[in-house]
Each structure stands twice: as C-alpha cells, then as structure tokens.
Amino acid sequence: MKYVEGIIVVTTLILAGCGSSGVMKMGPDTYCVSYSSALGPIGAKKGAYAEASKECSKQGKELLVINERSSMFNANGLVDLTFRCLVSSDPEMQQRPDYVNAPDILIQDQRQ
C-alpha cells in the first residue's frame, strides 16, 4: 500500500510542475497555447508543441508555427506558442515561416 501511495505522491509532484492554458482560438485558423514545465524551457516547448500538434491533427490539418516565445520563471520553463492549423495545400504551408523575436520582459521585485 505504501508503494502505491508513494507513486501517487511522486506523480502529483511531477504534474504540479507542468501546466497549460489549453489551446485558445485567436482567429479562423490561428491559435495559441501557453505551457509551463518544471523541466525547463525544453520541457515546456515539448508540451506546447504536443498540444498544438494534437489540435491540428484533430482537425485533419497540419501545424504551422507563427511565433514561439520562451522564458523562465522560478526555475520553470514557459513557452507561448502561436500557430495555425492549415490544409497541406494552403499556400502558407509552402513557405518557410519567419519567426518574430520579441524581447523578453524581465519583472523584478522592487521590494526591499
């Protein structure tokens, strides 16, 4: 019984370090998702791309990433992903995407 309780505790701790906004629709074929992971930016990126791919697959379309933004907060990786779900014949799918590099925003606690 203690083994099962231990597995539940470890699983809960691992999952507590991960979180998703869920896929949010921004336009006719444009979506965004935010994902955080205790595994850092790579874990967050993997989670965000998995959710985006799942959304497009569900629609029978292909994923085209428009913008990706990564950051760190309290040792957690954060990724904001903007993407489109398009049919493979869409002209946009035939072009290489150009990513916009937005500057990171650093929020500092000014309390002493």
**Token pair belonging to 52:** 């985006």
3-state secondary structure of 82: strand
Q: Within a domain: residue 38?
A: yes
Encode pLDDT of 4-58 as tens digits.
Answer: 443 443 343 344 456 888 899 999 899 999 998 888 888 888 999 999 999 999 9
With a CB cutoff of 8 Å and minimum separation 6, the contacts of 22 are 33, 51
Q: Is residue 79 part of a domain?
A: yes
The verdict on residue 109 lying in a domain is no
Domain count, the chain: 1
- 107 is a domain residue: no
Q: Which residues contact 37 (CB under 8 A, 6 or more apart)?
A: 17, 18, 43, 44, 46, 47, 76, 77
pLDDT digits (tens, 9 = 90+) for 51-104: 999 999 999 999 999 888 888 766 778 889 999 999 988 888 887 766 655 555
Task: Tell me, yes or no, if the pTM score tops 0.85.
Answer: no
User: What domain range includes position 84?
Assistant: 14-94
On whether the CB atoms of residues 45 and 79 are closer than 8 A, the answer is: yes
